[in-house]
Amino acid sequence: MLDLLSKQLTWANFGILFAVAVLFLLLILGYVTYAIYFERKVIGWMQFRYGPNRTGPLGLLQTVADVLKLLIKEDTIPKKADRELFILAPAIAFVPSFAVLATFPFTKHWQFADLNVGLLYYAALSSISTIGIVLGGWASNNKYSLLGGMRSAAQMISYEIPLVMSMVGVILMTGSLNLRKIVEGQGDWFWEWNFLPQIIGFGVFIVAAVSELNRTPFDLPEAESELVAGYHVEYSGFRFAFFMLAEYVYTFAIAALTTVLFLGGWHPPIPFLGFIPGILWFLIKMAVCVFFMFWLRATLPRVRVDQLMGIGWKVLLPLALANIFLTAIVKELLR
């Protein structure tokens, strides 16, 4: 993939890149479909419930049926809504969630775009989804939607600051914003991965990432018990599906980013296991991260909004700042 991007762009190269991008999009859509299924099954198993078990063998077609239902459901737009922005908001929320995947190095040679500022690219694009959520709430011309959108914006902006700052320690250790170089800076022994020397940053990153995804216990923007269904209460059919699609694509993106920054990317935990292809190690680590998010949802209750903001500003932000200073001091002492 990198070889194609480095060559002069021809129609043949463009066709290959376009086909690979479409295939990757289909793979991501397949991931979303069955991530929802496995989330239901995992949470059901943890809470002594069955989960999907009727539609298709072992309930494997339940999510497919849900997607089909959303696609053929009537598309309603409130009469007094801002029609153009109402239609645009789901796309603004979804497109960045897919675009951020371009810079992830799944193996040493399999990467769509090897950007020197790959980490900055991710942080900048993921911020755009906040605009889509705010627009969706405001354009609906519904006070509940507006409150849900504004609260979601406050949460996502508040937690994006410690999320980005928790990555600074990794940048200081690696000396690069390039995601491939960050992985290459970690060794084939698991204690050489960044999660150990950056244990504070790793903890801050995990908590901030879960909040950034609006997932339990930080799913206040979609708190049915408080604000009906949050910022997307007026959406139905495939437009509602776009918001849900964006959330689950971001679970893929956050799991991949965690693997790249802290868990050694494609490196095996010990050199003896190096015969296993790097892409499998990458996917296994991602699966562990996704399972952890499902585990949290099955276990923890939702926090209050004052607790949510307090954790972000009073706990995570000071810890992220302390991690930056500690990393800088240690690097200076070890020079």
pLDDT in tens, 55-82: 889 899 999 999 899 889 888 899 888 9
Q: Band of the pLDDT at 215, cuts 50, 70, 90?
A: confident
What is the arithmetic mean of pLDDT over 152-158? Answer: 87
What is the arithmetic mean of pLDDT over 147-167? Answer: 89
How do the domains of the chain map onto residue ranges?
Answer: 1-72, 79-334
Q: Which two tokens stand for residue 228?
A: 């009906």
Torsional sign, CA 215, 221, 227, 231: negative
pLDDT for residue 214 is more than 90: no
Packing angle between helix 237-262 and helix 199-212, nearest 10 degrees?
A: 180
Whole-number Å distance between alpha carbons of 289 and 97 = 17
Alpha helix segments (H runs only) across 47-82: 62-72
Torsional sign, CA 122, 127, 133, 138: negative
- DSSP summary character for residue 252: H
Q: How far apart are the first and last CA of the chain?
A: 37
Whole-number Å distance between alpha carbons of 124 and 335 = 32
Q: Which residue has the tokens 């509602």?
A: 240
